[in-house]
Structure formats: structure tokens, C-alpha cells
Chain A
Amino acid sequence: MKKLIELDINGRLYEVAVNDRDLLLDVIRKKAGLFGTKKGCGEGDCGACTVLIDGKPELACLKLAIACQGKKITTVEGLIQEGGALHPIQQAFVDHGAVQCGFCTPGMIMSAKGLLDRNPKPTLYDIKHELSGNICRCTGYKRIIEAVQAAAEVWSKEGVK
């Protein structure tokens, strides 16, 4: 039996019909049409589906959609700034060559966002630790970590929403 629920994704309310078993990842992608959030495994092992739920990085492939009612969900599409400008984390990923195939990128960026929101001045260990649930097979992680460090710098200097 499908139920009609409301989900707050990136500040917009989406009215979606879901089963009890429907996963947030599938709803975000197929019902809300937000394809930035990726499915690399569907089993909670790769981090590609990371989104923020009430500011906390969570794996959308493990979350039931109905459990997310009344919560604020942020996907990678929600980071975009005024006039289409990139969020400092996104900009840093581009500038530092932290993107290759890009399939891990949205999840990485959301994990980084979760970290910097909580801890704008992370140590190298903090960053490594926070991103350890996100697999990237292309980059070897070095440039991703550099990008997060660079973004943290911009963050503490200029402040970000």
C-alpha cells in the first residue's frame, strides 16, 4: 500500500507516494528527480548516496523514506549558491582536481559539508576519519582531502551558509 508523504528536500516540499519499504535514495532519485545522489552499492558500504538529514551525513540507501518525514534533507543539488555559484567545497573540488569520474563526488562533498558544518577547522585526521566511509576508486583521495582543507580555509575566512 502506498502512502502519500511529504519530504523536505533542499528546502522544497515534495509530495511523494511511497511504500513502507521505499528507500530514501530511490525516492530522491526517481520520485524527486534529483539524480545527483548516486547509488554505488545500495548496501551502505560506499558512501556515494550520502545526503544530510537535519545536518548530519546519512546514507540514503539505508534510510526508509517514510522515516524522513519532517526532517530537512539536503542533497548535493541543495548546495548551489546564489546565481548558480558553486559552494566553496564544490569549487575546491574543481580547483584541486579532486574529481575524476565524479561518481563518488556528490557523496564526498556531502560528507565534507557535514564535517565542516560541525567542525570548520578540522585536522587532517578529522577529514580522513569523516570521509572514511566514502569510497573513491579514481583519485587515491589525496586531492579530495586537499580540497576539503582548502574549503575549510575559505569557510573560516569568509563564512558560508
Chain B
Amino acid sequence: MADKDLKTKWNLTPGGWNLEGVPAYQDEKRFTQVGRSVPRVDGPVKVKGEAVYTGDMILPGMVYGKIKRSTYAHAIIKKIDYSKALELPGVLAVITGEEAPNKWGIVPQAANETVLAIGKVRFYGEGVAAVAAVDEETAEAALELIEVEYEPLPVLLDPFESMARAGEVLIHEDSPKNILHEGEQVYGDIDKAFAECEYVLEREFHTNYPQHGFLEPQTALASYDPQSGQMHLWASTQIPHYLHRQLSIVLEIPMNKIRVTLPAIGGGFGGKGEASIAEFVASLLSRKIGRPVSVTFERNEVFFTNKGRHPCHMKVKMGLDKEGYIKAIDFDNTLDKGAYSGWGMVVLFYTASMLHLPYEVPNVRFRGRSVYTNKPSTGAMRGLGGVQPRWALECIMDELAEVMGISPYELKMKNAIESSHTCINNMFVPHSEYKKCLETAVEKSGFLEKHGKLPFGKGIGIAGGYYISGTAYTLYQNYKPHTSVMIRVDTEAGVTLMCAAADIGQGCNTVMAQMVAEELGVHYEDVHVQSGDTEIGAFDLGSFASRLTYASGAAIKMACVEINQKIKETAAGMLGVRADQLVLKNREVYSMYETKKRIPWEKVVEAYTSINGSLVGLGNFSPPRRKGIDIVTGNRVQGANIGHSPTFGFSAQVHEVEVDVETGRIYVKKVTEAGDCGTPVNPMSVDGQVEGSIMFNLGACLYEDQKLDANGKHLNPNFHDYKTPTTMEMPEMDTNIVESYDHTAPFGVKETGEGAVQPTFPAITNAIYDAIGVRFYNLPITPEMVLKALKEKKAVEASSK
């Protein structure tokens, strides 16, 4: 955008005053760089095919690693014989679990996975050995030569069966009930509240077992230098820091001897939010042979190692008073953890936290347990812990509205929270435009005119949701800032932001450039972003929990304070005006009172660096911590601080569906979405995130489900049988960013990447009910389920005639 456009866009006079007579610099919302749709900084290299992903890298002397995987879901490993593999020409090394017995896992208290299985395998496809060879073909041939002898154990694939048979079969010796963790949270007086309710409904909901399906399989390239003892790992990860930390534990190398670098990343959606075996295996093999080793998963290995969404078995009871105000929620959740703990109790308690918003709920009881099964482990997947309870709650509210004889929209508006809301678990929401989201989605879709009035087979449904913008706590005991950034300004590199944030495709490098530019008064094109490197960049926790825009924004603001102060002091001398009267905007420094006194920003930088050398600013951010308590009694509640966040994003969606009653197929025809993401730093990217979110969960609602046979063998570890939505399933999408500004947030920002996945399941499910009068409590909602339900419905109707 040309400078001219910027001025007219924000109604600025040439002197920097807006038309209402308020000086622009005094109005914190009058941005020039933030809040505009700019093309992504990495767009051109990606369309040219020149972006370098980990799998595109070749280092001198590089060889390839491959992993031998278990053909049993639960078995004792009696013997591994790899002598024949070692004899194959071109094979350089073979490793087994004993090589690295230290346990890894992103939550250290729960870490219970080894790089390769030791003594026993717990899911089909678990790694048992790995090979390094001169090329991939040789490595693959070597895998065939490794002989593994197993003694099969009973396979537990269902969490209820797993608990019931724990006396007889244990998946982990140290978990006597096959339960990773169970917990209870009680707020208020649930029984009393239900007794006083006018409307009470109780339902059971069961979710499916989808996987992220990021298009770039996990890839890692490790290069160990035996002379210096330095390990350099390039990896397709979302969490350079947590990976760094776990590598240090597994390899027993100090963190300062390991460097993690992120090349371009081909998507993550939470799946690369945990370390991957590829990373450990590449590192171990490289250390063993002293040469760079590249490990790329095949697509089936992506499915085998999974870490997708937890299937949840939820019992939900919700009570409303006469007027329709929610008085109580009783929620019982059994999560299918799969074989290893990974995120541990975090996901369990997220599903608890999600009960407290976006509606006011005075009495809540949560009981839950995360149960081991012999399945590929579940983990973090877009909207972690939120999607399943949100589906249940928004569906039950739809039913309750029907019982009450009011519109679900009315019921939601009545209960929706507003800004400065404290939940009963002490979660604080500084700002909310959730009501505006609901209003906008309803108005733009014509929901009220259509709901309940469309012909049979056509339906419309509404649902809302929210998500955190970062979490208040690190995954291990630690009090250091969650994000640090360094900004360097000089005539050589201009402006460079150095940080360890991970651009996994969501576009944070562009957004961070915009924020730095805004703060320094330059243009986003002037900012170089060096991110995703634990050595170049300062500390950052990584890309998860929708934390980046907020956390990086806050750290960037802080780093710029120091720089701007020095720029102003220098310019003050050059212009002969007081430093505190200077404004930095549009690559200029000028006096707010005598606007003729101005000088190009670059000239000031030149003057400063000629005297002092490079100008460097440091910034960091730690989210505020709040206690996890019941605010009525003041009692501490275990896990209640999980889900606390500096601020929250909101979304409302209206889905319009058509159900083909002959085939049972469900077509989502149109989606109207309205989101509160605070200030949209790059509105085009926000829309992209929201559209992607909708399609992501549209797929998981209607098509996606990993299937295992009775022995735990994965039946659809490929994109042929695991169906993700294509262009043909894409509905018309009308996404709207509602006007929102959170004064407590840097630049007024909030999350956008995970809030918009929350309403999709329930909005579709409610729309299907509106279309054919059947409520579904299992996912995905397949054509077979629709046909069966329609048949049953017909039979019931016939018998009642």
C-alpha cells in the first residue's frame, strides 16, 4: 500500500492528526502497519518452489535414516537381531531402544516414551530399531533384514475396556489402572443448583480419532560434529525450545551444545507440537556415525505416530433456570490417550477449563480421566481440549433451547459473557466481543428467518466458541519469560528481529514484521525476521496454544521502547526539539507540535550508529499468572489454572447444510462466521486462518477418523482411506472480523488460529438436526449413520401413526 493510502485509510492529516482532532500518536488504535492486509513475506519463495523445507536440504556427506516399526500393537520384544542388516553394503549403523533409554515427553512429569521401544511395544507402528545408510533404498532394504521376535499381549483399544481389564493387562507398569491421570474439579454447589433448575438435560457424546494431516511429513536433519561435540538439528517442528530441551535429555548433551533450526515448515496444527521420533533418530544416528543424517517420515509413519485429537467419551448434564440462564454443568469425560502420555494431564484439564466459557456458568463439576490404550498416542490438535466439550455443550444448548421453545441464538445471547468477566475457576477474560460475533453471524446468514423453516433435508445450525491466546504456564516448572526477542537496528541490516518463534505456515513472520514496523515507525518491508532458531533467536516457547501474536507482540513492544528512546534522543539533537515531543511514523521522526521539524528515520539511525554502533533492544513477555481456585470458596482446585490466558478470542458460526436423504451424504453449503480476534494484524491472514479452521473441522466432523482392526493394526494410514476434505467439499464461506480491541493486549490483539475451529462440529450437527430432525451424538457423522437414523425415524413415525 502506498503512503498516501495509509494516510487516507486512517484519516490522518499530513501532520499526523486525525480528523477528530486527536493527535494520531495519542490514539493507540491508529496503526499504519498493523491492521492491514499485506502479502506474506514468504509468499514469493513458496510459490516459486524455492522455499527450503527440511526435506529439501542436502549437507555434504549426508546419509539417510529409516525406522523399523512394530507389527504388533501390544507385545513383549523378545529379541532384535540386526546382524544381517549391518552386513548389507551401504549400511552405516543400526540402533535400538537401549541406545537412548531416557524418556521423552513434552510434559516432563509424565514423560514415558523412549525413542525406540525398549522391552515392549505399546502400539502398532511403534519404532523398534533404526538404520543409517548411504541412501534411502539401502536403509529400507536393511529394515527388512532386521528380525524382531515378539510375544503378543492382549490388545486394549477401548478406554473402558482398558480400565476394566487393568487387573489383567497393564500398558504401563507404573499406571496400575491403565489411567494416566484422573481428576475432579468442583465449583459451587452442583446438586443444589440442579435441584433449582427448570430445565435439565443429560446426554452422552462420543468423538472420533482424527489426525492433523499436515502436508509435510515430519522431517529432521541432524549434523553432529564429534570434534566440538556440537549437535545441529534442522527439524519441521512447532516447538524449537521444547524439542531442544527434550533432545538434551535424551542425548545427554547440554542444551548449549545443541542448536535447533527451523527451515520452512509444512504445517503442524499441533502435531508438530511434540518432538518426533524422526528428530531423535536422526540425532542419535548422526552422533553414532559422525555424519549428517536425514530422516523423513513416509505418510503412513505420520499416521502411526499420530498425536492427533483425543477421542472423548463425554457425559454432559446442563441445567437452566426458568429464564434460561445456565445454572450448572456436570461433565464427565473419558479421554482415549493412546499408548503414551505426551501432553499428559494438560489435555484432560483443558477439557475441564472449556466448560467455563463463553457463557457464564456459576456451578460446575468436572470428572475426567485420561486412559491408556494400545493405539497411536493422541496429543495436541488444533483447538486442543476445546473442540470435544464445545461440541457437546453447544449441541446440548441447541436441544435445551428447543425444549424451552426459544431460538438457540437467544439462549446463547442470554448467557454469553462480556468483557471483564471472572469465571468461577478464577479465569479472567479482560475483553469479549462474543455477543457481537453471535449477532453478526446471525444477521449475515439470516439464521432467524431460516431456522426451523427450511424444507426437509435442508437445515441451518448455530454454535459459538472461544480459545485462549497463550497459556499462563510453561509445561515444566519454570519462571523465565515465555518469549524473548532481540531487535537490532543499524545501517547494515536495517531492522532485524531475532527470535525463536516458529512460523509453521500460519504467517507469524509477517505479523511480527508488521508489529515491529508499527512500533518503530517504519514499514513492514523494512523488517527482517530471523526466527525459528535457538541459537540466533532469543528464547521462545513455540507455536502452540495460539500464543504467538500476543506474546511476541508484547515482547516486541518492550524491545522497541529502548530503541525508540535512543532514536528520539538522537533526533532531538538533530532537530533541536525535545525528545519526548517526537513521533516515529512512516519512516520519519517529527515533532508532534512543529510538524515541519522532521527528519528521515534512517538518517537518525545513521547518526546514532556512527557514534555508538548498532542499536539493540531486548524485550520479553510473561503472561500474568492467576491462581486456579474456586472463587466462591477460595479453595485451590487441581488443574484449574490450565486454560488461564492473558486474553481470549471468540467465534460464532452458522452452517447451512443439505442432506441427501437417498445417499445419506451431508453437504455443508454455506458457512457464515464472525470472529473476535482483537486487532487483526493482517486481516487477510486472519481470514485464511478462519477459513482453514472451518475446513479442518468440517473434515473431522464428517469424514476423518483413524481406524484400527481388532489387533490394533492401522487400517487407513494414508490419504486415500483417511478422507480429508477437498475443494469439492468446500462450502461458500463468509468470514467476518468483528470490531474488537483489547486494551490490555499489545496492539489490542488476540488469537485467531484455534478459536474458529471450536464452533464447527456443533454448528454442523445442529444444522443436520434442523434438516432431518435427527440429533447425532457420535462423530464423524457418516452417510451410513444418516441413512440408519432416517430409517429408524421412519419406523418410529410409522408405528406411532
Residues of A within 8 A of B (CB): 29, 34-46, 48, 75-77, 79-80, 86, 90-91, 93-95, 97, 99-106, 109, 127-129, 131-145
8 A Cβ contacts from B663-722 to A: 684-685, 687-688, 690-696, 718-720
B719 touching A138, Cβ below 8 Å? no
Contact of A103 among B53, B719, B728 (CB under 8 A): B53
CA distance A143 to B688 in the complex (A): 7
The yes or no answer to B505 lying at the interface (CB within 8 A) is yes
CA distance A140 to B694 in the complex (A): 7
Residues of B within 8 A of A104 (CB): 215
A86 touching B47, Cβ below 8 Å? yes
Given contacts A40-B216, A45-B719, A135-B215, is CB(A101)–CB(B726) below 8 Å? no
B48 touching A90, Cβ below 8 Å? yes
Contact of A99 among B47, B690, B724, B728 (CB under 8 A): B47
B693 to chain A, nearest CB (A): 7
- Cβ contacts A to B, 16 pairs, < 8 Å: A29-B56, A35-B56, A39-B55, A86-B44, A94-B43, A97-B688, A99-B40, A100-B506, A101-B215, A101-B264, A102-B47, A103-B53, A135-B719, A135-B724, A137-B267, A140-B693
Contact of A102 among B264, B695, B718 (CB under 8 A): B264
The yes or no answer to B504 lying at the interface (CB within 8 A) is yes
Given contacts A43-B718, A45-B719, is CB(A35)–CB(B52) below 8 Å? yes
Residues of A within 8 A of B51 (CB): 102
CA distance A40 to B51 in the complex (A): 15
CA distance A133 to B693 in the complex (A): 20
Residues of B within 8 A of A (CB): 37, 39-40, 42-44, 46-53, 55-56, 212-217, 264-267, 269, 298-299, 504-507, 684-685, 687-688, 690-696, 718-720, 724, 726-728, 730, 733
CA distance A128 to B214 in the complex (A): 21
Contact of B215 among A76, A77, A137 (CB under 8 A): A137
Q: Which 10 A-B pairs have the closest CB atoms?
A: A36-B49, A101-B505, A103-B266, A102-B46, A140-B691, A45-B719, A76-B49, A140-B695, A35-B56, A94-B43
Residues of A within 8 A of B48 (CB): 36, 76-77, 79-80, 86, 90
Q: Is the interface of B mostly helix, strand, loop or mixed?
A: loop
B47 touching A93, Cβ below 8 Å? yes
A154 to chain B, nearest CB (A): 14
A41 to chain B, nearest CB (A): 4
A140 touching B692, Cβ below 8 Å? yes
B217 touching A35, Cβ below 8 Å? no
Given contacts A38-B216, A103-B53, is CB(A43)–CB(B719) below 8 Å? yes
A100 touching B727, Cβ below 8 Å? no
Given contacts A93-B47, A142-B730, is CB(A102)–CB(B266) below 8 Å? yes
CA distance A46 to B267 in the complex (A): 14
Given contacts A40-B299, A46-B719, A101-B505, is CB(A94)–CB(B44) below 8 Å? yes
Give A129's nearest chain B residue, CB to CB.
B728
Contact of B269 among A95, A127, A137 (CB under 8 A): A137
CA distance A103 to B265 in the complex (A): 8
Q: Is the interface of A mostly helix, strand, loop or mixed?
A: loop
CA distance A112 to B728 in the complex (A): 15
Residues of B within 8 A of A102 (CB): 42, 46-47, 51, 264, 266, 505
Give 11 new A-B contacts, CB below 8 A, not counting A76-B48, A133-B726: A40-B217, A91-B47, A93-B47, A100-B505, A101-B215, A101-B266, A103-B214, A103-B505, A137-B214, A140-B730, A143-B691
Give B52's nearest chain A residue, CB to CB.
A35
Contact of B718 among A45, A94, A127 (CB under 8 A): A45
CA distance A59 to B396 in the complex (A): 45
A100 touching B688, Cβ below 8 Å? yes
Give B683's nearest chain A residue, CB to CB.
A97
CA distance A34 to B44 in the complex (A): 17
Contact of A101 among B50, B52, B214, B298 (CB under 8 A): B214
Contact of A135 among B42, B212, B213 (CB under 8 A): B213
A132 touching B505, Cβ below 8 Å? no
Residues of A within 8 A of B56 (CB): 29, 35
B724 touching A137, Cβ below 8 Å? yes
Residues of A within 8 A of B507 (CB): 100
Residues of B within 8 A of A36 (CB): 48-50
CA distance A95 to B47 in the complex (A): 11
Residues of B within 8 A of A90 (CB): 44, 47-48
B227 to chain A, nearest CB (A): 29
B696 touching A140, Cβ below 8 Å? yes
CA distance A99 to B505 in the complex (A): 8
Given contacts A97-B688, A101-B504, A103-B53, is CB(A132)–CB(B47) below 8 Å? no
A137 touching B213, Cβ below 8 Å? yes
Given contacts A40-B216, A97-B685, is CB(A141)–CB(B730) below 8 Å? yes
CA distance A143 to B685 in the complex (A): 10
CA distance A100 to B720 in the complex (A): 23
Given contacts A94-B47, A97-B37, A142-B691, is CB(A41)–CB(B728) below 8 Å? no
A109 touching B269, Cβ below 8 Å? no
Most buried by A among B684, B719, B724: B719
Residues of B within 8 A of A131 (CB): 726-727
Residues of B within 8 A of A136 (CB): 215
CA distance A128 to B265 in the complex (A): 26
Give B137's nearest chain A residue, CB to CB.
A19
A141 touching B299, Cβ below 8 Å? no
Residues of B within 8 A of A37 (CB): 49
CA distance A157 to B418 in the complex (A): 51
B175 to chain A, nearest CB (A): 33
A101 touching B216, Cβ below 8 Å? yes
B387 to chain A, nearest CB (A): 16
Residues of A within 8 A of B684 (CB): 97
Given contacts A42-B298, A94-B47, is CB(A138)–CB(B505) below 8 Å? yes
A153 to chain B, nearest CB (A): 18
B696 touching A105, Cβ below 8 Å? no
Residues of B within 8 A of A79 (CB): 48
Residues of B within 8 A of A99 (CB): 40, 42-43, 46-47
Residues of A within 8 A of B688 (CB): 97, 100, 138-140, 143
A139 touching B692, Cβ below 8 Å? yes
Give A46's nearest chain B residue, CB to CB.
B719
A97 touching B49, Cβ below 8 Å? no
Residues of A within 8 A of B47 (CB): 76, 86, 90-91, 93-94, 99, 102, 105-106, 109
B430 to chain A, nearest CB (A): 29
B361 to chain A, nearest CB (A): 31
Residues of A within 8 A of B695 (CB): 139-141
Given contacts A76-B48, A138-B505, is CB(A43)–CB(B299) below 8 Å? yes
Residues of B within 8 A of A145 (CB): 727, 730
